Structure 1
Amino acid sequence: MSSSSKPPFILIDGSSYLFRAFHGMPPLTNSKGQDTGAIYGVINMLKSLLKQYHPTHIGVVFDAKGKTFRDDIYPEYKANRPPMPDELRTQIAPLHEIIKAMGLPLIIEDGVEADDVIGTLARQASEAGIDTLISTGDKDMAQLVNQHVTLINTMNNQLMDIQGVRDKFGIPPELVIDFLALKGDKVDNIPGVPGVGDKSAQGLLNGIGSIDEIYKQLDKIAELDFRGAKSLAKKMAEYEEQARLSYQLATIDVNLQLNYSPETLVPEAADTARLADLYSEYEFKRWYTEVTSNQTAVDAEPDSTTNEDVTASELASDDITVDYTTIFDEATFEQWFKDIQAAELTAFDTETTSLDYMQAELVGLSFSIEAGKAAYIPVAHDYPDAPEQLSRDWVLAQLKPWLEDPTQLKVGQHLKYDKNVLANYDIHLDGIAFDTMLESYVLNSTGSRHDMDTLAQNYLNHRTVHYEEIAGKGAKQLTFNQIDLETAAFYAAEDADITLRLHQVLWPKLEANEGLKKVLLELEVPLASILSRMEQQGVLIDSQRLLQQSQQLATRIIELEKEVHELAGEAFNLGSTKQLQHILFEKMELPVVKKTPKGAPSTSEEVLQELALDYELPQKIMEYRGLTKLKNTYTDKLPKMINHRTGRVHTSYHQAVTATGRLSSTDPNLQNIPIRNEEGRRVRKAFVAREGYQIVAADYSQIELRIMAHLSGDKGLLDAFSSGKDIHRATAAEVFGVTEDEVTDNQRRSAKAINFGLIYGMSAFGLAKQLHVSRSEAQEYMDLYFKRYPGVLDYMDSTREFAKANGYVETVFGRRLYLPDIKASNGARRKGAERAAINAPMQGTAADIIKMAMLRVNDWLQQANNDDVAMIMQVHDELVFEIKHANIDAHIATITELMEQAATLSVPLKVEAGKGENWEEAH
């Protein structure tokens, strides 16, 4: 844009906002079950933009219902797009109402798209010399950019001017239509020219010119310097009509006849009474407070969090003036260090060369002890002409006593990573009092992601500098040591500052709830240090065994592919969904179990499982998929993950991912190694102990069923577990009306399916499929079960009601599990939330118990200073150890006792432990 001081004319692509908000926000609902997430997201983005620019002229433009002139030109236009979901459609009318009540001009023109209205108004404004800002996420709008027209991305606030278009597309704005016409657009179903992609389109346009110029000089294409140029002229000639059609479809009409102009689109005073009614109806509590407190809708702070109880004063932290220092000399270091040592709490962060904690090298450290004030100490920026920095060895030597001091309290964002990095320098980070990632997770595990950028936006209304903005993307992304110091220092200092500010917002919320406070301070924060030690310990892998298994799997995969082709009667690509759909549902005419959102027959794992019950082909395809995944994910990959320094594999445990509190892991994912088939169990055999040690696996037995007995208080279940009965045999006896001695293996299997099915909220239909019986028979089993165990049915009913009334359920130990879909108007989402409401307290309590067990076992190891035992893995309800042969049985007995005493329920916890040379033997 020009340097005019006059606020710009802003055109907002409301339809782009709408879809981005719908797909980018969690599926929020109000207490009546009305969907509100898209409304919330759009209004939030509008408020943010208005606050930033305070425009004197503005238009919010939406697509109209029905067809446009492009559909007349090309009936297949946008045919690939799925129909609008009902849960989005129902939000459009109230969203329009709120926008109008805010006093903003709302524009909808029949027969044309929002793009054409925006294009026409932008042309009119340009001709009048008015600077225009178009807020959109639509790349097609780049064709409108000129000296007076700039785009701003709705999601990341990035501006795109003429140079920005060149940087993104490799061509100037005036050739964007030609670019889109040549390469086509799958989203809008613009056909383009087959075989022409980004590179060849850029090559044609920069080498020759527009489409018109290209078709005048087809013979010049072969002279151009890009891959495939020599043979492209023939294809261009063959598809000229399609290219010309695509040009028409991609062209935004800038010459509409409108009965308004940029000069007439002026915001009016907000109708605060109407806004108050709308905000009240859709339960946007803080916005309601704003308008009823006589704040204007345009000037009010944007609400950028899914937690409606965040106050305006918290969001005002975005207005803090920052004071960031880069420390280059010992005198400045000493002054800052003195302040840090005297502080009650210090926010601390490291900057490194890698996300892999075993490979990462320390580049710098940042600190903050006061909101808005932070310091960065660079120690290893090594790009050409980098300024002189303090020595890493010197800085770490000075900081080591403070870093290791448990009385010097620290807060960080995902401090487990920093602890691991410092361990590489023989520094054992202690004094971890808080972690903002864990604070957010404990407060609401499903409310949002828990990374710093998201939390800063949600809780502080602050957009942080994102790493990709300073380091680039993909293969050319710089590591932190390669980034110029001025840019890097601000980024690093901001991390520490924002961490402190986030803690100041999050901690009071947790402190106000005793249950959540205990989950954070007594479970999650101390667990992070234990997980750090487990990660650093790693696990030994027998790479030779895995290599042999990979070779055997490769042979079997080839055999399976051949068997599948024989059954199908032709060769096809098993990795192609389209070809698989053709074989299964067109050629073989198998029943269509489920459809994709676009209406095609689904080939998902769930569908193949159901078809495999009756047909051999899907059964073979499932086996092929399973073995291919096993080979690619584990037998091929694990040997490559062995750390050259330790000779072991080091996973990463994640505390803030699952909704229920269970841990997850990556690189490798230990939770997903299959154990129900021989090939998966063979992978576990490759997890071995070092010489003189054995692997010990200690597993909670039927822990979720025991938790169900505790939560429901059902007398029958409590008696069965307390007397040590086989719970599945006891259930079978109750349901089938026989004595326990008379229970058949088949009846026990059915009872097991009922027991586990119910805790996962399985319906009679689902149980019928699992047991291969009729739906009525499955319903009869369930009715008998609830008759024998009435406390279970009471628990399920009361839990559903509690979830609907409160929007969450709780574990035995106070962890909250929010259910945003519990009142959703969409029946499938609501039913899913109801099933989760029943299961989440059991899964969450099981997660809490195994974490408590890890803490107890760790305390024993620390107190006994026991180097003979190492806790090396946590998988589902199991802890895995590497234990020296001497006294192994005594250690197993101690571990079993500690785990069984980790928590007190109405029924005893039972742990089964085994030992062996590898994980599978121990299991």
Structure 2
Amino acid sequence: MLLVDGSSYLYRAYHAMPDLRADPADRASQPTGAIRGMINMLNSLRKDYAEAPYVACVFDASGPTFRDDIYPDYKAQRAPMPDDLRSQIAPIHEVVRLMGWPVLAVPGVEADDVIGTLARAGEAQGLDVVISSGDKDLAQLVTPAISIIDTMNGKRRDEAGVLAEFGVPATQMLDYQTLVGDSVDNVPGVDKVGPKTAAKWLNEYGSLDALVAQADKVKGAAGENLRKALDWLPTGRQLLQIRTDCDLAGHVDGLPALDSIAARAGDSSALADFYEKYGFRSLAKGLQAGSAAGTSAQRVAANAGAAAAEAPQTDLFGGEPVASKAGEALAYDTVLDWASFDAWLTRIEQAELTAIDTETTSLDEMQARIVGISLSVAPGQAAYIPLAHSGPDAPEQLPIDEVLARLKPWLENPAKKKLGQHFKYDRHVFANHGIQVAGYAHDTMLQSYVLEVHRPHGLASLAQRHLGRAGINYEDLCGKGAHQIPFAQVPVDKAAHYACEDADQTLDVHLALWPQLEKEERLRAIYELEIATSEVLFTMERTGVRIDADQLRQQSHDLGQRILALEKEAHDLAGQPFNLGSPKQIGEIFFVKLGLPVVKKTATGAPSTDEEVLEKLAEDYPLPARILEHRGLSKLKGTYTDKLPQMVDVATSRVHTHYAQAVAVTGRLSSNDPNLQNIPVRTAEGRRIREAFVAAPGHVIVSADYSQIELRIMAHLSGDEALLKAFTEGLDVHRATAAEVFGVTTEQVSSEQRRYAKVINFGLIYGMSSFGLARNLGIDNTAAKNYIDRYFERYPGVRRYMDDTVAFARANGYVETVFGRRLYLPEINGGNGPRKKAAERQAINAPMQGTAADLIKKSMVVVQDALQKEKRATRMVMQVHDELVFEVPEAELDWVRSEAPHLMAGVADLKVPLLAEVGVGPNWEQAH
């Protein structure tokens, strides 16, 4: 029996999907995001449990329940359902029925109680019951026959899963929940008793009843709180207990016969009409082409075995199965002889586009070696060439060197178009074997990043979302953690299906996403920019950056000495030794021994010692200042001075960071292993780390950095006359702002006034409130509000831009950069108060951050193109925020100093001039 918590599903669908409309051109038309998400979640689930003879999708009915009679404040704190979601409830019920799911909503009882009643009835008849929900409360239903799956994160709550997650068996979950309470439903538990204490008590006493009977023996504040709650606990337990004996007459006939929830086929004709009505044209086409929900996943499972069908899915939102593939058998080849190899070589030579993927020895792109290569030239058709499998039953494989030599002309031919999923990684892998791949035309990860930046971009997620296809999970093949085996030891037959599936799905996803980009000119241009950026990033990552490891080791030693000295100073100030990394010990010394003021408290009611508190206390007390400095230096030492020398590549004597391109929703790049973008520059110790990034002999480091780029973008977007004038005339914009806000001439502006203006300029870009400005400047809230009001009086165009941008975001569900990159804001209409406000602040800032990201990417592409055309030896070695860093031969210094800022300033024609400033030095710090 398969039971779906429909109420949980529809909220998840609503918050995860973009703000879709039945008529995309009319923002006032029917919202459809939750409907679409619901359809695809249920389709995906039904594919995984296609044989279930009984199914039901259960929703909460409107109106009060028996729990409201017991406790009038039950769920009193819950925010009302957003209007856009409320309007989708009836269509969701309708389409779920049309898809063949019995829909249940029983007045007077909640969905959980209906699920509980059906689950127990199914168990009594010998059925295995699977409940699909993210609600942890349902864990009290778990038995050997009843389990819960959370399809959003792949979590399975069977008996072992419940025990591992909560620390108590499923039979004690109601007792556990009664002690902890449920803040979402406004059901109190025992004050300040959390999951750990609840589990500890139940493991010690065996049950809530036994604990209550011996409550006088429980010591400490927790015991006192338990005794205070004794009168409440029976009511709390009654509220939290899921009923399993509901009268479902008129909703489910004939219990325990269950006939009315027997699985049935969907109504294709009515579904087609529904899909057309709500604008789901691709779903409608799928039905017209004879695509049945589940066909694709079932044929994959038939080829891959049960593991594929049971693999947990992590993302269930998005598109439907590709109609044209329905019913086709997969043609996956394992290439073990030269005849097969030659046949596939001919196929890829003749193909217009080939999807290619590598299976390797490592995720480290600079170290990974090829284990096998997969290719796909048509949907459902793929081949795997195993080259380095070494398991005991591994068949004889073609020699890797000869295979790569025969593939090399095709791989390096730019006219032979290739497709990948995160192809930058595969380019590195081939480069490790001496092959410089050319002709990469498409990347499905980047297609998804441009079209749906707020969604996951992994291949499994894309295939599920856009094709309705489930695939084999890597961990199903190789295991997890310490028991994980190398891919080379996976049996070739299983490895081949997995690898072929990767290439096949990559091609299939491309066929779903590329048409969407083709018809959106501005989005297609952003995608082309991302493809070009990926090419530059590959070159940068391959080049790496030279560091002075000896200097870093000396810095580590110096930091270690200062850290020890700070520890001694802190002990002296405290009057006793203590662990500077222990919040508990710090709290005891601060608030018990020294009597420092409590700034704020943690969720458990204890005085907080977090970073914000330390910074506040450090203004008046020396001990918090020492602890802050100790923390900062310890982080520098552990993260950079100790680790960077260990990350030098032996073959190149350089550090090679990885630039993640499809992570930040604003379009910004992120750097990791090591992270070169978060090296602190506000302290002398942080700046010293940059001194260790050095040029090779005969070279210098050149830094080219956009000046005040986000303020310039604000001037362009807002069109504010005063702001445009300041930049066009080359004025000091912070001084100009200070003159406007404080009502003085620019010559009369003091350094303090300029500092205030700088905070206001950058703060408003990030949506800073008067409260935030007051805290930042150390002034009262009224004064801060007056400054902001005066700013908007002098810069009315900025105020107009902010209001217009928020209105656009509310109407469309996204904002855009100057160049058309879309930045989605799911919370702008559907979030609660704080989340909605945060989305509004993000709507204001995202176009500026996103445009800045577009500009630096355009600069990287145009500068790299110039370096190649000029055949220069200068190499771009880092990209950090709005800065490009080069390693330049001394003979090319004049050219770079002239051309780099010129090229960067010319990548876009904005209403204000772009300005890139250049610095030169033997190391990064001196060049910056």
The alignment's TM-score, normalised by the length of structure 1, stands at: 0.79
Question: Shift of the alpha carbon at 1:400?
Answer: 0.6
Cα–Cα, structure 1 residues 342 and 586, in superposed 2: closer, same or farther, change >3 Å?
farther
What do the CA deviations read for 1:488-512 (whole angstroms, capped 9, x no partner)?
1111111111111111111111111
The residue type paired with residue 839 of structure 1 is N
Question: Shift of the alpha carbon at 1:681?
Answer: 0.7
- Paired residue for 2:489, among 482, 502, 507? 482
CA contact (8 A) 1:22 1:38 kept: yes
Matches within 5 A, 1:598-609: 605-606=611-612, 608-609=614-615
- Paired residue for 2:44, among 48, 54, 65? 48
- Paired residue for 2:562, among 556, 559, 569? 556
CA contact (8 A) 1:182 1:196 kept: no
Matches within 5 A, 1:473-512: 473-512=480-519
What do the CA deviations read for 1:709-753 (whole angstroms, capped 9, x no partner)?
222222322222222222212222222222222221111111111
- Paired residue for 2:717, among 689, 707, 711? 711
Please name the residue that 2:901 is paired with: 896
Please name the residue that 2:762 is paired with: 756
Cα–Cα, structure 1 residues 370 and 769, in superposed 2: closer, same or farther, change >3 Å?
same
The residue type paired with residue 260 of structure 2 is V
SS of aligned partner of 1:750: helix
SS of aligned partner of 1:541: coil
Residue 409 of structure 2 corresponds to residue 401 of structure 1: yes
CA contact (8 A) 1:810 1:816 kept: yes
- Paired residue for 1:11, among 3, 19, 29? 3
CA contact (8 A) 1:698 1:880 kept: yes
Percent identical across equivalent pairs?
49
CA contact (8 A) 2:376 2:503 kept: yes
Alpha-carbon separation, structure 2, partners of 1:720 and 1:127 = 78
Alpha-carbon separation, structure 2, partners of 1:175 and 1:717 = 64
Question: Shift of the alpha carbon at 1:704?
Answer: 1.3
Cα–Cα, structure 1 residues 272 and 696, in superposed 2: closer, same or farther, change >3 Å?
same
Residue 291 of structure 2 corresponds to residue 286 of structure 1: no
The residue type paired with residue 428 of structure 1 is Q
Matches within 5 A, 1:443-842: 443-446=451-454, 448-521=455-528, 523-564=529-570, 573-576=579-582, 588=595, 590=597, 592=599, 605-606=611-612, 608-609=614-615, 612-613=618-619, 618-842=624-848
Deviates more, 1:526-535 or 1:814-823: 814-823
Residue 369 of structure 2 corresponds to residue 361 of structure 1: yes
Question: Shift of the alpha carbon at 1:379?
Answer: 0.8
Question: Shift of the alpha carbon at 1:397?
Answer: 0.5
SS of aligned partner of 1:631: helix
Cα–Cα, structure 1 residues 420 and 737, in superposed 2: closer, same or farther, change >3 Å?
same
Cα–Cα, structure 1 residues 318 and 176, in superposed 2: closer, same or farther, change >3 Å?
farther
Cα–Cα, structure 1 residues 253 and 793, in superposed 2: closer, same or farther, change >3 Å?
closer
Alpha-carbon separation, structure 1, partners of 2:653 and 2:181 = 47
SS of aligned partner of 1:823: helix
What do the CA deviations read for 1:123-148 (whole angstroms, capped 9, x no partner)?
543443445444456695795225xx
Please name the residue that 1:5 is paired with: none
Cα–Cα, structure 1 residues 727 and 464, in superposed 2: closer, same or farther, change >3 Å?
same
Alpha-carbon separation, structure 2, partners of 1:530 and 1:267 = 57
- Paired residue for 2:432, among 407, 424, 439? 424
CA contact (8 A) 1:692 1:884 kept: yes
Cα–Cα, structure 1 residues 487 and 583, in superposed 2: closer, same or farther, change >3 Å?
farther
Please name the residue that 1:857 is paired with: 863
Alpha-carbon separation, structure 2, partners of 1:93 and 1:733 = 51
Deviates more, 1:13-22 or 1:819-828: 13-22
Question: Shift of the alpha carbon at 1:692?
Answer: 1.9
CA contact (8 A) 2:289 2:324 kept: no
Please name the residue that 1:263 is paired with: 257
Alpha-carbon separation, structure 1, partners of 2:726 and 2:696 = 41
SS of aligned partner of 1:263: coil
Please name the residue that 1:227 is paired with: none
Deviates more, 1:90-99 or 1:663-672: 90-99
The residue type paired with residue 426 of structure 2 is D
CA contact (8 A) 1:33 1:825 kept: no
The residue type paired with residue 337 of structure 1 is L
What do the CA deviations read for 1:502-523 (whole angstroms, capped 9, x no partner)?
11111111111111111212x1
Cα–Cα, structure 1 residues 857 and 273, in superposed 2: closer, same or farther, change >3 Å?
closer
Alpha-carbon separation, structure 2, partners of 1:314 and 1:874 = 39
Please name the residue that 1:240 is paired with: none
SS of aligned partner of 2:891: coil
SS of aligned partner of 2:700: strand
Cα–Cα, structure 1 residues 15 and 610, in superposed 2: closer, same or farther, change >3 Å?
farther
Cα–Cα, structure 1 residues 662 and 678, in superposed 2: closer, same or farther, change >3 Å?
same
Cα–Cα, structure 1 residues 326 and 545, in superposed 2: closer, same or farther, change >3 Å?
same
Please name the residue that 1:238 is paired with: none
CA contact (8 A) 2:43 2:468 kept: no
- Paired residue for 2:919, among 875, 899, 914? 914
- Structure 1, unmatched stretches of 5+, are 1-8, 205-209, 216-244
SS of aligned partner of 2:419: strand
The residue type paired with residue 704 of structure 1 is E
Deviates more, 1:826-835 or 1:50-59: 50-59
Alpha-carbon separation, structure 1, partners of 2:32 and 2:632 = 39
Cα–Cα, structure 1 residues 50 and 527, in superposed 2: closer, same or farther, change >3 Å?
closer
Alpha-carbon separation, structure 2, partners of 1:738 and 1:38 = 54
Please name the residue that 1:242 is paired with: none
The residue type paired with residue 45 of structure 1 is M
CA contact (8 A) 2:553 2:641 kept: yes
The residue type paired with residue 917 of structure 1 is P
Question: Shift of the alpha carbon at 1:671?
Answer: 1.1
The residue type paired with residue 424 of structure 2 is K
SS of aligned partner of 1:408: coil
Please name the residue that 1:4 is paired with: none
Alpha-carbon separation, structure 1, partners of 2:66 and 2:410 = 67
Please name the residue that 1:442 is paired with: 450
Alpha-carbon separation, structure 1, partners of 2:83 and 2:735 = 50
Alpha-carbon separation, structure 2, partners of 1:490 and 1:787 = 65
Alpha-carbon separation, structure 1, partners of 2:245 and 2:329 = 46
The residue type paired with residue 480 of structure 1 is F
Alpha-carbon separation, structure 2, partners of 1:493 and 1:32 = 45
Question: Shift of the alpha carbon at 1:340?
Answer: 0.8
Please name the residue that 2:151 is paired with: 154
CA contact (8 A) 1:87 1:826 kept: no
What do the CA deviations read for 1:335-365 (whole angstroms, capped 9, x no partner)?
1111111111111111111110111011111
CA contact (8 A) 1:29 1:824 kept: no
Deviates more, 1:424-433 or 1:29-38: 29-38
Question: Shift of the alpha carbon at 1:96?
Answer: 9.5
SS of aligned partner of 2:715: helix
Please name the residue that 1:377 is paired with: 385
CA RMSD of aligned residues (A): 5.0
Alpha-carbon separation, structure 2, partners of 1:35 and 1:619 = 52
Cα–Cα, structure 1 residues 134 and 37, in superposed 2: closer, same or farther, change >3 Å?
same
CA contact (8 A) 1:184 1:190 kept: no
CA contact (8 A) 2:478 2:490 kept: yes
Please name the residue that 1:332 is paired with: 340
Matched length: 851
The residue type paired with residue 348 of structure 2 is I
